[in-house]
Amino acid sequence: MSSLFEYTLRLGDDSLILGHRLSEWCGHGPVLEEDIAMTNIALDLVGQATSLLNYAGEVEGKERDGDSLAFLRFDREYKNLLLVEQPNGDFAITMVRQFLFDAYRKPLFERMQNSKDTMLASIAEKSLKETRYHLKHSSEWVIRMGDGTEESNRRAQEAVNTLWRYTSELFIIDELESKMADQGISPNLMEIEDDWKKTVDAVFKEATLTIPKNNWKQSGGRNGMHSEHLGYILTELQYMQRAYPNMKW
């Protein structure tokens, strides 16, 4: 498997799975305006997943397109972060998950605009505009929840406590990451982590939220070892393609 293929899958799967999670909110949002906002973000993510997985298919060169990659792989072949597959929970879990992800995605895409891989650079450029808005939206909500009512603060802090364990995976520099960085294809994750920390610190400070002391970390998604949740996502996501193979829709 080529490194570029697998690296592109990581990016594409993050968008695909988080887009899936957000679209579960459709029609269930806390207020109509927010339903529209979350669907917008879901749409952006599905769009990113389409570009990235189509490109991954091209890179692979085995006549798989974005759809066959999105719908017809086995669970171990999905390379998304554990963070993005976590269940929606309440609105606090959803928005904190979104914020932790957006704060990582924005500096990633900023730097990826200079990737030696021109296709990734151009996808990053387009996605960055969307991601800036996502981050603005999720930061605003984290601040409002954290510095809102007693209940919203408690829920937001619980969400942070629940999700914090999945954040170190965002910055693990494994063989693939370092190879891509050496080739000038992917940005340096250490720099991105710095940016991420700055954003998280600033927003949490305004939101009066604290970073949990328990620092035990979970990882595995990048290598295809997922939580139990992914299986259910795939059951829904793949239902039509598995039940009615080889048809046009």
Partner 1 sequence: MNELSIDKLKSRFQEKIDNDIKIEPNDWMPDDYRQTLIRQISQHAHSEIVGMLPEGNWITRAPNLRRKAVLLAKVQDEAGHGLYLYSAAETLGADREETIDDLHTGKAKYSSIFNYPTLTWADMGAIGWLVDGAAIMNQVPLCRCSYGPYARAMVRVCKEESFHQRQGFEIMSTLANGSPEQKAMAQDALNRFWWPALMMFGPNDAESKHTEQSMRWKIKRNTNDELRQQFIDVTVPQAAMIGLTIPDKDMQFNEDTGNYIHGPINWDEFWEVVKGNGPCNKDRIDVRRRAKENGEWVREAANAYAEKRARRKSA
Partner 2 sequence: MSKKEWPLWEVFIRSKAGLNHKHVGSLRAADAKMAVVNARDVYTRRSEGISIWVVESKDVYASDPSDADSLFEPADSKIYRHPTFYDVPDGISHM
Residues near partner 2, by CB under 8 A: 31-33, 36-37, 40, 133, 136-137, 140, 144, 149
- By CB under 8 A, residue 89 contacts partner 1: no
97 and 83 Cβ atoms separated by less than 8 Å: yes
- By CB under 8 A, residue 219 contacts partner 1: no
> Among the candidate windows 114-122, 129-137, 163-171, 231-239, which touches partner 1 by CB under 8 A?
231-239
Amino acid at 198: K
Instruction: Closer to partner 2 by CB, 139 or 186: give it.
Output: 139
From the list partner 2, partner 1, none, partner contacted by residue 239 (C-beta under 5 to 8 A by kind): partner 1
From the list partner 2, partner 1, none, partner contacted by residue 136 (C-beta under 5 to 8 A by kind): partner 2
CB-count exposure of residue 234 (10 Å: 0-12, 13-18, 19+): buried
Q: How far, in Å, CA of 175 to CA of 33, rounded?
A: 43
> Among the candidate windows 127-135, 151-159, 167-175, 179-187, which touches partner 1 by CB under 8 A?
151-159
Among 2, 28, 129, 210, indicate the residue that binds partner 1 (CB under 8 A): 28
- By CB under 8 A, residue 46 contacts partner 1: yes
Task: Provide long-range contacts, Cβ within 8 A and 24+ apart, for 205-208.
Answer: 206/143, 206/146, 206/147, 207/142, 207/143, 207/144, 207/145, 207/146, 207/147, 207/156, 208/146, 208/147, 208/153
